[in-house]
Amino acid sequence: MSESIILDAPLTWQEIAAVANGAPLALSDAARRRIVNGRRIVDALVERGIRGYGINTGVGALCDVIIDRENQQALSRNIILSHACGVGDPLPRPEARAVMAAQIANFAHGYSGVRVETVEALLGLLNANLIPAIPSRGSVGYLTHAAAIGLALIGHGSVDDGKGKIGGAEALARVGLKPLRLEAKEGLSLVNGTPCATGLAALTLSRAARLFDWADAAAAMTYENLGSQANAFAAVPLALRRSKGLEEVGASLRTYLADSPMLAETAGTRTQDPLSLRAVPHVHGAARDVLKQVAEVVDRELASLTDNPAVSGTPEAPEVHSQAHAVGAALGLAMDSLAVAVAEVAAISERRIDRLVNPLVSRLPAFLAGDSGVSSGFMIAQYTAAALAAENRRLAAPASLDGGITSALQEDILTHATPAAWKALSIADNLETILAIELLAASQAYDLQPRGRAARTDGLYRRIRAAIPTYADDRPLNGDFARMRALMEESTP
C-alpha cells in the first residue's frame, strides 16, 4: 500500500493526486483540533442565534428565510438530498477519490465548522476504498458532485466498493459507522466550495506532467527518424529564448538523441527542419511553463478556504462571514489555460505522426507499411490522431466564460471551474492516445530503417517492442494503442 499522506499543513496537488491513485489520507492532531474548534464556533453561533447563511437561513435565493433551531438539522439533510441532482456516468474512482481528498483538505482548515465526526466518516470511506458514485455531469462549478458524497454519509446514494455497487448505509456499516445525522451548516459545507474542481485539477496536473515527459520521448524518436540537424537542440542557441520549460525540453531531447548514428548520417541534408520537429522545445516548453503556472494556482486553492460562509473568532466571540470563497474563477481560468496547453502538445504530436506516415516527406515506405498497396499500415492511425486532435480543439474552448444565471438571480455569474477541469482531463486522455500512436509509428519507422539509434531512444524502442510487435496489418491497431497506453501508465519513458 502507498505511504499515508498526513493532512496537517495544506496539501499540495501532488499529494491530492497521490490520494487519488490510492494513498491513504490521515488527519494530524493539529488539523483535528482546527476542525473541532471550528465546530465549536458554529455551535456558539447557533446558541446565540447569530444569523449565518446556511446555518440558520435558507440557501441561494432563500438566504433571507430564517430557519428556527429545531429545523436546522432538517435543513442540512434537505440540502444534501435536493442538491444531489447530477446526471451522467459516475466519475472514475481516481477522480472521485481526488474530489473527496480535496473536500477533506478544505474542512481541515477549520473555517467550515463541520464536525470532526463528519470528516472522519469521509476518511473512513476513502481509506476503505468505498467510493461514492458521483455523477459526472450537471455541475456549474460545485454542489451536485459534492452532494453525491454527502448522500453516502447520510446512508443514501450508491457507493462503489471495487466489485460493485452498494448503498450508502451498507458502506458506512463496513467502516463501523451509522448514517450521520447532520447538524447545522454541515449540509451546506458538504456541497459547497471548490473541492470538485480542485481535486480534478490536481489529477489533471499529474497526468499532464507524466504525458509531457512521454511527449518529449515520442518527439525524440520521431526526430531521429526524420530529422537532419544533428545539433538542432543545442543549449546555447536555445537559451536565447527565455523559458524554463524550453530549457527543460531541450535538455531532455539532447539526452535522448545524444550520439545518434542516424542523425550523424543525415546531418546537414536540410537547412532547417519543419516546425513540428524543430519547434518541439518551444511548444512542449511553453506547455510546461503553463503547467507550472496552473500548479501554483491549484496549490493556492488547496491552501485556501473555499467554503461559504466562513466561521472564525472563538466560541466566546464567534464570527460568521458571507464571502464568495466558493467561486472558482481562478481555477476555471487556470484549467482552461492548461486545457489549451495539453491540446497544443497533442496537436504537434499529430503533425509529427503525419510526417512519419507521409511518403512525400518521410523518405520511408508509404504509411510505414512493408507492402504498401496491399497493406495500409499506419494510414488510418493518423486519421484517429487527427480526429482526437480536432476533438481537443473543440474541448479547449473556454468553460470559464460560459456564464449563466441560477437561483433566481442570487447566483448570477458562474465560472464553471469543475467543467473546465473535467474537459481538461478529457483532453489529456486524448493526448495519451495520440502519443501512443506516435510512439508506435516511430517504432515502426525504426523497423523500416534498421540503422544505429541513440542509446536512450534505442532503449525505449526495445521496451516498446518487448510489449508490442511490429505491425503488419495482422491485427486491429486499436489493440496496440491500448497496450501502448498501458505501458505509458505503468512506467516512465
Is 471 annotated as catalytic? Answer: no
Which residue among 53, 223, 446, 471 is the active-site one?
53
The backbone torsions φ and ψ at residue 88, rounded to the nearest 5 degrees and listed phi first, read 90, 180
Q: Where are the alpha helices (DSSP H) in 303-399?
A: 329-357, 359-362, 379-395
Q: Which amino acid is at 417?
A: A
Radius of gyration (Cα) for the chain, nearest Å?
Answer: 26
Neighbouring residues of 312: CB distance < 8 A, sequence distance ≥ 6: 41, 111, 319, 321
Which of 331, 337, 329, 310 shows the shortest CA–CA distance to 321?
310
Q: Give the separation between CA 438 and CA 440, rounded to whole angstroms.
A: 5
Whether residue 389 contacts residue 434, with contact meaning beta carbons closer than 8 Å, is answered with yes
Q: Give the separation between CA 444 and CA 446, rounded to whole angstroms.
A: 5
Whether residue 154 contacts residue 73, with contact meaning beta carbons closer than 8 Å, is answered with no
Q: Give the separation between CA 453 and CA 455, rounded to whole angstroms.
A: 6
Q: H/E/C letters for each residue in 52-100?
A: CCCCCECCHHHCCCECCHHHHHHHHHHHHHHHCCCEEEECCHHHHHHHH
CA quadruple 40, 44, 50, 55: dihedral, nearest 10: 40
Which of 212, 207, 176 shows the shortest CA–CA distance to 20?
207
Whether residue 245 contacts residue 283, with contact meaning beta carbons closer than 8 Å, is answered with no
Which of 182, 183, 179 shows the shortest CA–CA distance to 167?
179
Whether residue 320 contacts residue 55, with contact meaning beta carbons closer than 8 Å, is answered with yes
Whether residue 233 contacts residue 254, with contact meaning beta carbons closer than 8 Å, is answered with yes
Q: Give the separation between CA 357 and CA 368, rounded to whole angstroms.
A: 6
The backbone torsions φ and ψ at residue 415, rounded to the nearest 5 degrees and listed phi first, read -110, -5
Which residues are identified as catalytic? 53
